[in-house]
Chains A and B, each alone.
Chain A
Amino acid sequence: TQLLEQSPQFLSIQEGENLTVYCNSSSVFSSLQWYRQEPGEGPVLLVTVVTGGEVKKLKRLTFQFGDARKDSSLHITAAQPGDTGLYLCAGDGGGTSYGKLTFGQGTILTVHP
């Protein structure tokens, strides 16, 4: 069973601060995705990373896939209250498990004005 561990579980910061969320596993993933979920809604895809060492930027969000494709990080610069939500990483094991995503437990981010 492939497991993804996210840290921290909770993050409460002030507007303007920077933060990093980590997603770690002992397993190799063919791709890894980050989602953001708001209360009462389903998760929404932010980014997919496929290549080891890959870095993708989405405005103030920077996503990195580890060289060994076992870990990833999400860095937010100058956080805003609109960034508040549940952030989830999810990995695709590939092979016979292609298409089947394993989700981390999530990081609840609260950005205070």
Chain B
Amino acid sequence: DAGVIQSPRHEVTEMGQEVTLRCKPISGHDYLFWYRQTMMRGLELLIYFNNNVPIDDSGMPEDRFSAKMPNASFSTLKIQPSEPRDSAVYFCASSLMAERGYTFGSGTRLTVV
């Protein structure tokens, strides 16, 4: 099992540009989560899906952020337009059941200059 795969590992972009982060969850996991981690705010849940359906997107900062899960093996998080305050590490995680815990990817470190 290759685990949760995120790409890219690092992304540096200019303010105003569109950024797309990608995630492949573990096969068979029916929950997928997008988190953002910063020193100031820790790990914040942005959005999560169950069986490819968005369940709770209340953590998405604003309309500049959008997430999709077109099938069980792929999800994207898009920021358009990006701003310097979006700089953070973005994690994708998947889970079979909450009690069994999440498996996190290695994250995408986003820097917006």
Chain A residue nearest to B43 in the complex (CB): A103
Q: In B78-99, which residues have CB < 8 Å from any A CB?
A: 91, 93, 95, 97-99
Please report the C-alpha to C-alpha distance between residue A30 and residue B98 in the assembled complex, in whole angstroms.
Answer: 10
List chain A residues, Cβ under 8 A from B42. Answer: 103-106
Residue B34 CB within 8 A of the other chain: no
How far, in angstroms, from A4 to B48 measured CA to CA in the complex? Answer: 20
The interface residues of chain A lying within 8 Å CB-to-CB of B25 are none
Contact residues, B45-74 vs A (CB, 8 A): 45, 48, 50, 55-56
As a 0/1 sequence over residues 15 to 48 of chain B, the CB contacts with chain A under 8 angstroms (1 = contact) are 0000000000000000101010000001101001
* B interface residue numbers (CB < 8 A to A): 4, 31, 33, 35, 42-43, 45, 48, 50, 55-56, 91, 93, 95, 97-107
Q: What are 25 sample pairs from A and B whose C-beta atoms fall under 8 A apart?
A: A31-B98, A33-B101, A33-B102, A35-B101, A40-B107, A41-B106, A42-B106, A44-B104, A45-B101, A45-B102, A48-B100, A88-B43, A92-B98, A98-B98, A99-B31, A99-B48, A100-B45, A100-B55, A100-B56, A101-B98, A102-B45, A103-B35, A104-B42, A106-B42, A106-B43
10 more contacts with CB within 8 A, not counting A92-B98, A100-B56, A101-B45, are A35-B101, A40-B106, A42-B4, A45-B101, A45-B103, A50-B99, A88-B43, A101-B98, A103-B43, A106-B43
